[in-house]
Amino acid sequence: MGGFLEGTKGLVLGVANKRSVAWACAKALRREGMQLALTFASERLEASVRKLAEELEIETVLACDVTMPDEMDRLIDGIGERLGSLDTFVHGVAFAKREELKGTYLETSREGFQIAQEVSAYSLPAMSRRLIPLMAEKGGSITTLTYIGSERVIPNYNVMGVAKAALEASVRYLAYDLGPQNIRVNAISSGPIRTLSASGIDGFTAILDTIAERAPLRRNITADEVGDVCAFLSSPLSRGVTGSTIYVDAGYHIMGL
Tell me which residues are annotated as active site: 147, 157
| Residues 15, 22 contacting (CB under 8 angstroms) | yes
| Residues 102, 195 contacting (CB under 8 angstroms) | no
| Rounded Cα gap, residues 104 and 134, in angstroms | 42
Q: Tell the burial category of 20 from Cβ atoms under 10 Å away from its Cβ (0-12, 13-18, 19+).
A: buried
Q: Which residues contact 56 (CB under 8 A, 6 or more apart)?
A: 26, 27, 30, 36
* Opening angle at CA 164, ends 254 and 56, nearest 5: 95
Q: Residue 255: how many CB atoms within 10 A of its CB?
A: 11
